Amino acid sequence: MRSVRTGKNRKKSGRTTSKMPRIKPEEVREIAGLTRLGLVEAEIERMTHELDGILGYIETVRNLDTAEVEPMTHAVPFDCPMRPDEVGQSLTVDEALQNAPRRRDGYFEVPRIVPGTGEA
């Protein structure tokens, strides 16, 4: 097994150890609130640890020397055939909304997630 070095922290198997976490439980709580996830304390602790590991991996990847690596969009060759854009038959408003759980005035109605004017 080779070791990967990132700053002062070293550990075999490519993972770094850190005395200072990259993410705090308060930040996990905030992210959970933004994503409307109801996490209990045990889940917050687990997610803090898991996200810290992910951020550590990202730090490791950022420290790699990629100067000689050709930029690519995919890790393997990926042929994306193009076709000409052609105008086709469109759905009517009623057809498009027929399976919508809620609609209003010819539009999809969705719950507000961003506060509007005068809302907190």
Q: What is the pLDDT of residues 15-69, one digit of tens each?
A: 445 468 899 999 999 999 999 999 999 999 999 999 999 999 999 999 999 999 8
- Read off the CATH number of the domain in which 28 is found: 1.10.20.60
Query: Does a structural domain hold residue 32?
Result: yes
Query: Does a structural domain hold residue 100?
Result: no
Helix, strand, coil distribution of the chain in percent, nearest 5: 30, 10, 60
Query: Does a structural domain hold residue 26?
Result: yes
Tell me what pLDDT residue 80 has.
78
For tokens 């020397």, the residue is: 65
Query: Does a structural domain hold residue 40?
Result: yes
* Residue 78 confidence class, pLDDT cut points 50, 70, 90: confident
Task: Give 118 or 11, the one with higher predicted confidence.
Answer: 118
Task: Give 48 or 81, the one with higher predicted confidence.
Answer: 48
Task: Tell me how crowded residue 56 is: count the other CB atoms within 10 A of its CB.
Answer: 20
The count of domains in the chain is 1
Task: Give 116 or 25, the one with higher predicted confidence.
Answer: 25
Query: Does a structural domain hold residue 68?
Result: no
Tell me what pLDDT residue 47 has.
96
Domain with 45, as residue range(s), is 16-62
